[in-house]
Amino acid sequence: MGRFSSLQVAGTSICVLLIAAFSGCGSNPTRATFFPVPASITLTPATNASMDLGTTLTFTGTPHSATGNNITTPISFASSNSAVLTVANNGLACAGTWDSLTAPQICTSGQVGVAQVTATARGVISPPTTVYVHQHIHHVEVSANPGQNSGDCHVPLNASNSVTQLSKGQTFSYQATAFALASNGLIDITPTVGVFTWQSQNASVATVSTSASGLKPGEVQVTAVTPGITSIFASVSNVNSVPFDFVTCPVQSIALEVTGEAGANIIVPRGTGKSIVPTVIDTQGITITGVPLTWCSSHPTAVSVGGSNCATNTGDSISLTTSQAGGGTVTASCTPPTCNIGLEPARPIYPEQPISVQVTNSTGGTNPTITAFVSSTECDSIDACVSEVVPLTAPNNTLGTPASLSATPNSLVFDRQGSKAYLGTNSSLLGTTGLNVLTAGTTSSSAAQFRNVTGKVLTVSPDGKKVLIADSNQVFVVETASNTTASLPIAGATAADFSPDSLKAFIGAGNKIYVYSTVDPLTSIDLGSAVASVSFLPVGAFAYAATSSSVIPIGTCSLLQGTPFATSSTKFLTALPPGAGITLFPQGVQPTINNVLITADTSGITLIGVQATSVGCPDPSTAVTTGPTESFSFSQGTFNPIQLLVSTDGQAAYVVPGDLASILVFNLTSGSPVPIALTGNALPVQASLSTNGTLMYVAASDGQVHVINTQTLLDVQQVPFPFFPNSLQNDLCAGKETPCKPDLIAVKP
């Protein structure tokens, strides 16, 4: 039948050519059509195919010219075994016999076997496709080849059918078996079904190969690639096996080491480069390399790692650069979804100890320009009043060109990269205005906006890709790369902080911490008391939430609460850079703590020692010890703290009191509290510190910005803002009868 089919198709092709050359058998010849000879023919499906008895499959042939372009040439098809498979003239194959090759309608089952199909045009033949014809497949089973150790990742994986757990780089092989249902039960028909197709649903976690050395037909070798979990299944003749879970053992711990340095806390001159080497250990205790770690710096304009902050890198080391004085904390984390992939809930792993870098000034090179951006909330809803934001640039602290805003701002926050500032708004003016986004330059700036996004800016993620804005009813998440927004059902949010890798944000609202994650659903943790402040430890594995009566550790991975540590009247809480403040504790305490929290209350500041162990997904009730404390009074009586700032190098902390004409400075090396008086008894309204820590800009009640030299502890300059009633030339509020006072200020990192 196969030869007859081939001859018949060939005969049909000859007839087509004859008809093209002559019109019937009469004496009126027409012009002949000559089709080009192809250089090659592509047959689809290619290589192999698998068919149940009595089913059909369409083949197509595509002729190509020598340059690879498709050409038009008549195609004929042939089967090498017509007892198993016949192919009609139009390329429709029957796993058996067609009733007609020219007008196929009925496909009658033939016999089990193998046939090769080819496509031919002008004497050129395509590579063959091998077709396996078999009984109907009832199901496909996958089993592990014997004599292999499947391993144990030693962690709960929530895997429904996990059969293999291996460390990165290890391999495992499986066998697929096809079964048919006969009158006497299931029978193995694997030898007749042909080639199995294997698929890993996430090739980043595990790859599959059917061509590895030593494999038999129907077998596959799976290689563990990146920590995480994926499903794998085998397919043949459109029948899939039940997927099974394959686990590349998750990362358990990360240790960081700076080449040429004795410890994790280093001091280097500006412009110095260093190399950081990670040691990554999985849950089987095996050291693995080439893991995609997320590298982040707390202050990337002073201390940077890689090309952009919080970028993923699989190298065995990464370069650290220091472009300006100040400091920063460097972490390398196994952050989903690029590491510990697919685990539910997400299982981020942070370094046992981050790298703390203090960058000193150097004599060579040029210091970065320091520019503060100033705005005001006092336009409010006044008609014809246009709010503006004004740059104020050191060393002369001259005013630059104002940028007009679409609405009155209520907050001003820069991203850590210093590329954009975000100004929240109280109302959207019927949906026409919203969050303002300032692209900041030292001489000129421009502001865009996100309409319908209203509220106060709470925080910007370390990678600069997400901004959290809270109004009374919800929290907006603004995606800065895609310019899209999403809203979270969180009412009354007042505080927020992102984990060092930007994976999660802890948002304080009422008595709860809401946990926003880029990979897990929104959830909440009830603390029982109103949240005043929240801050992640530099180690990344834990955050602390402050209430009026305690500070409470929370696991970043586990989301479990640790034991509350009693405090009083805490208004603000932040974690110090690693190593900062530890020497102010008694010598016997210093070796037992590796992190320090600083809180501000109505009389001074308190340092809280913390011992945190960051391995795996730790439970803070056992992995964190909070306390003891050291308290320091500013000897200013009772005051109202409105801000707590810490220099990037961890050398000083600043409390901004809203009811004292001074800035309160605490030296974290000597333990000395010192007030800095503001000229003219002006009250501070908001303050911002330069990255290198040398200047502080204070928006004050006298309508001026006070410039404080933090080295001399003096208010060295007071900058007024021009005002012309009802004029568009004003610097903070244009078109208003009375001047607007500066009350929003942020130094560009």
Indicate whether 366 pLDDT > 90.
no
Give, as one character, the DSSP assignment of residue 737.
S
Percent of the chain with pLDDT over 90: 81
Q: Assess contact for 61 and 126: CB atoms under 8 A.
A: yes
Q: What angle do CA 185, 190, 194 make, to 5 degrees?
A: 140
Indicate whether 261 pLDDT > 70.
yes
pTM: 0.89
Mind listing the pLDDT tens digit for each residue in 19-41? Answer: 333 344 444 555 667 889 999 99
**Mean pLDDT lowest among 601-605, 681-685, 744-748:** 601-605
| All domains of the chain in start order, with CATH | 2-134 (2.60.40.10), 139-248 (2.60.40.1080), 252-360 (2.60.40.1080), 369-454+678-749 (no CATH)
Mean pLDDT over 376-398 rounds to 88
**Mean pLDDT lowest among 308-317, 429-438, 585-594:** 429-438
Mean pLDDT over 295-315 rounds to 93
**Mean pLDDT lowest among 72-86, 437-451, 512-526:** 437-451
- pLDDT given for residue 656 in this prediction: 98
**Residue 234, both tokens:** 């085998």
Query: What does each C-alpha distance from 182 to 55, 110, 153, 187 come to in angstroms?
Result: 18, 17, 41, 7
Mean pLDDT over 158-185 rounds to 88
Return the closest-CA partner of residue 303 out of 3, 638, 577.
577
Indicate whether 509 pLDDT > 50.
yes
Residues 6+ apart with CB under 8 A from 735: 384, 385, 386, 726, 727, 728
Mind listing the pLDDT tens digit for each residue in 221-243? Answer: 999 999 999 999 999 999 999 99
- pLDDT given for residue 29 in this prediction: 54
- pLDDT given for residue 680 in this prediction: 97
- pLDDT given for residue 728 in this prediction: 62
Confidence band, pLDDT 50/70/90 cuts, at residue 364: low
Indicate whether 569 pLDDT > 90.
no
Confidence band, pLDDT 50/70/90 cuts, at residue 380: confident
- pLDDT given for residue 13 in this prediction: 38
Q: Assess contact for 137 and 237: CB atoms under 8 A.
A: yes
The Cα 503–Cα 482 span in angstroms is 17
Instruction: Fill in the amino acid letter for 671.
Output: G
- pLDDT given for residue 53 in this prediction: 97
Q: List b or e across 561-592, with b for residues whose CB sees 16 or more CB atoms inside 10 angstroms.
A: bbebbebeebbbbbbbbbbbbbebbeeeeeee
State the average pLDDT for the chain.
91
CA 3 to chain centre: 60
Mind listing the pLDDT tens digit for each residue in 414-436? Answer: 999 999 999 999 876 656 678 99
The Cα 346–Cα 517 span in angstroms is 9
Mind listing the pLDDT tens digit for each residue in 596-615? Answer: 999 999 999 999 999 999 99
- Residue that wins the pLDDT comparison between 516 and 32: 516
Q: Walk across the sheet containing 714-719 and list its strands.
A: 684-689, 695-700, 705-709, 714-719
Indicate whether 58 pLDDT > 90.
yes
**Residue 500, both tokens:** 């060092």
Mind listing the pLDDT tens digit for each residue in 176-200? Answer: 999 999 989 999 999 999 999 999 9
The Cα 670–Cα 507 span in angstroms is 34
Indicate whether 591 pLDDT > 90.
yes
